[in-house]
């Protein structure tokens, strides 16, 4: 997309990811449905997922100059930590992961992958200790003559969100003209992915209904985070050409507010808690597997898929809707 082109980006992902039609899944969900899966589980680096796109913009080449190490933080099975460690390895940098909590299963899932990707693991007891520990590790690296770049948890920063502006542009191009009203369902937690979609749709003037499905936090918190990140990301885009076809193009911030206000976020599918299985998520996983050959992860995408299926069957989607299910990855959680 033209407005993104001048922004520094380190290519890490295999793009564009495919938009896969899923007709048999659609038939099984509800009659008259049209479902496609945007396969961001296949962004490539370090087993892929949504974090790869975010890191492409978070790790811009100017910010990486002179950097010797990446430092970030997350839980013992963090997808973000896995992909950051993979990015460091790809870029020839060291990686320190501040992990809150000792995994009981360090030889499995993302905990195993953090180690296989060569990251140095520093364990703290509580989430609240992570920021201080990251600063301490950056200081330790500096004292040893290196230079650390601290990547915020989840890369859900305004820069990181630009990765999903890019994804929105891909989907806009991939959706055939004349398809029904487009609804995009995505898992949304720290809000960076949804923020990028909000900004991307505002920028493209693409009339899409966005739905964020929380795997953990209350819907209002997720909605607020996504809105704030989208608004903070909008000024990162260069201004439109002065004599471009759209003299009103600078109402972008207002359009972001409008798209954000229309965006729906639900926390009705969290169940007993983060990472805890629900019946609806298990059924969604079986349906996606058996009717689309698409494997969901149990923590994020299975719950987002459960929401999509429930809303379709409850008649909450308009007739003829084209549903895009954004598969944000997370597969290693299947193997814990």
The site for ligand PLP (CB under 6 A) is made up of 49-50, 79-80, 154, 156, 187-194, 297, 300, 328-330
Cβ 315 to ligand PLP, closest distance in Å?
Answer: 27
Residue 327 CB contacts under 8 Å (≥ 6 apart), including other chains:
37, 38, 39, 40, 41, 294, 296, 301
Name the catalytic one among 36, 78, 189, 214.
78
Measuring CA to CA, how many Å separate 59 from each of 7, 46, 78? 11, 16, 18
How many other CB atoms are there within 10 angstroms of residue 152's CB atom?
17
Question: Please, what is the minimum distance in Å from the beta carbon of residue 328 to ligand PLP?
Answer: 3
Q: Which is nearer to ligand PLP, 141 or 300 (CB)?
A: 300
The CA-based angle 264-269-270, given to 5 degrees, is 110
CB of 225 to ligand PLP, least distance (A): 8
* Residues 310, 332: Cα–Cα separation, whole Å: 26
Nearer to ligand PLP, 87 or 141 (CB): 87
Nearer to ligand PLP, 80 or 223 (CB): 80
Is the Cβ of residue 127 or residue 142 nearer to ligand PLP in the bound state? Answer: 127
Taking the complex as a whole, the smallest distance from the CB of residue 78 to ligand PLP amounts, in Å, to: 7
C-alpha closest to that of 239 among 253, 259, 226: 253
| CB of residue 219 to ligand PLP, shortest distance in Å | 12
Residue nearest ligand PLP by beta-carbon distance: 330
**Which is nearer to ligand PLP, 141 or 259 (by Cβ)?**
259
Answer whether 256's CB lies under 8 Å from 202's CB. Answer: yes
Q: 3 or 303: whose CB is closer to ligand PLP?
A: 303
Is 188 annotated in the active site?
no
Smallest gap from Cβ 146 to ligand PLP, in A, equals 28
Residue labelled with tokens 């909590």? 101
The answer to whether the CB of 39 falls within 8 A of the CB of 20 is yes
Active site residues: 78
């Amino acid at each position: 997309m033209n407005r993104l082109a001048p922004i520094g980006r380190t290519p890490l992902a295999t793009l564009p990811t495919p938009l896969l039609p899923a007709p048999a899944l659609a038939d099984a969900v509800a009659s008259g449905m049209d479902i496609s899966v945007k396969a961001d589980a296949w962004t490539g680096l370090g087993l892929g997922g949504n974090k790869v796109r975010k890191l492409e913009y978070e790790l811009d080449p100017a910010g990486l100059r002179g950097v010797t190490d990446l430092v970030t933080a997350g839980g013992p099975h963090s997808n973000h930590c896995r992909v950051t460690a993979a990015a460091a390895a790809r870029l020839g940098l060291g990686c320190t992961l501040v992990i809150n909590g000792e995994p009981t299963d360090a030889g499995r899932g993302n905990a195993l992958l953090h180690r296989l990707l060569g990251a140095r693991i520093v364990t703290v007891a509580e989430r609240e200790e992570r920021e201080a520990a990251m600063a301490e590790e950056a200081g330790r690296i500096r004292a040893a003559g290196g230079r650390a770049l601290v990547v915020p948890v989840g890369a859900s920063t305004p820069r990181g969100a630009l990765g999903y502006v890019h994804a929105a542009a891909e989907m806009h191009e991939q959706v055939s003209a004349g398809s029904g009203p487009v609804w995009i369902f995505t898992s949304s937690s720290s809000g960076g992915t949804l923020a990028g979609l909000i900004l991307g749709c505002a920028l493209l003037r693409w009339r899409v209904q966005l739905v964020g499905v929380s795997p953990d936090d209350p819907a209002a918190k997720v909605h607020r985070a996504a809105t704030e990140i989208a608004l903070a990301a909008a000024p990162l885009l260069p201004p439109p050409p002065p004599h471009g076809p759209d003299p009103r193009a600078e109402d972008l911030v207002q359009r972001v507010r409008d798209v954000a206000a229309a965006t729906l976020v639900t926390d009705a599918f969290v169940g007993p808690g983060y990472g805890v299985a629900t019946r609806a998520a298990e059924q969604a996983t079986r349906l996606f597997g058996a009717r689309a050959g698409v494997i969901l992860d149990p923590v994020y995408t299975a719950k987002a898929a459960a929401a999509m299926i429930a809303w379709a069957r409850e008649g909450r989607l308009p007739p003829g809707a084209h549903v895009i299910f954004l598969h944000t990855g997370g597969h290693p959680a299947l193997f814990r």
